[in-house]
Amino acid sequence: MTPITPREAAVTVRGLSKSFRGQPVHAGLDLDLRRGDILSVFGPNGCGKSTLINMMAGLLEADAGSVLFDGRTVREARIGYVFQNYREALLPWKRAADNIRYPLRLLRQPRAQVERRLQALVAAFDVRFDLNRYPYELSGGQQQLVSVMRALAVEPEVLFLDEPFSALDYETTLSLRELLGRVLKENRITAMLVSHDLEESIALSDRVLMLTRRPSRIVDDVPVPLAWPRDAATLSSPDFVAIKRRCLDVFTASVRARPEAA
């Protein structure tokens, strides 16, 4: 298989702060994302998960603090981002393959290099459906897979994913999650994931960062030392269940806490 290894970066977040209408969501958040790690962020509704990854990915300006990719700003780094809503993320007038080629063409990469990258991604994800189809001709899972391939096309240093599977049915979610986890790990891709689904947050990560209600604090940083590749059987293993219990205890405590005490 042609490797699709991206340039890896470690991410250092220091003092990250953001308020909306005078209400702080993040107030001085520090975080280290290790090279090759998959980190998921989990916490109560509205605690600022999307705000955090959007600031880290450079989609939203922070009020204060810094995010550095091996010492470089997000403008100097190369990142990939997978949006929740694949229907709006893909360009509907372009075939699936052209959606994947698109960011490489924007970078003015030579045609042969673009094709090599496309073929490497097709092989890595073992794509069997016709990428010459338009997005509307593909299933939701296929469209989201195309979005993931497009995000990885540029060989990002970090891949950010905001609720990537929440609009998909459970069967599709399980198979895409398994596939994505395998490809990310085989290729040592550094990634950060936001999910509303605790099972998914654990199944797809090396660490789960547990946030409190806003103003958001990191209340626990839960290691997930489960073997890769992971599949449906992983979800009922005793180690998985123990990690889920720890996360649930932390989550329940932070949901119950009064906002000013959180």
Residues that bind ligand ATP (CB under 6 A): 20, 25, 45-51, 214
**Who contacts 210 (Cβ-Cβ below 8 Å, separation ≥6)?**
42, 43, 218, 219, 220, 221, 222, 247, 250, 251, 254
* Distance in Å, CB of 42 to ligand ATP, minimum: 9
* Distance in Å, CB of 47 to ligand ATP, minimum: 4
Work out the burial of residue 41: count CB atoms within 10 Å of its CB; fewer than 13 is exposed, 13-18 middle, 19 or more buried.
buried
* Distance in Å, CB of 176 to ligand ATP, minimum: 20
Single-letter amino acid, residue 133: R
* Distance in Å, CB of 13 to ligand ATP, minimum: 15
Judged by beta carbon, residue 20 or residue 228, the one nearer ligand ATP is: 20
Gap between the Cα atoms of 25 and 217, Å rounded: 9
Judged by beta carbon, residue 7 or residue 196, the one nearer ligand ATP is: 196
Judged by beta carbon, residue 36 or residue 58, the one nearer ligand ATP is: 58
Single-letter amino acid, residue 121: L
Gap between the Cα atoms of 246 and 219, Å rounded: 12
**Who contacts 31 (Cβ-Cβ below 8 Å, separation ≥6)?**
11, 12, 13, 16, 209, 218
* Distance in Å, CB of 194 to ligand ATP, minimum: 6
Judged by beta carbon, residue 25 or residue 158, the one nearer ligand ATP is: 25
Judged by beta carbon, residue 89 or residue 183, the one nearer ligand ATP is: 89
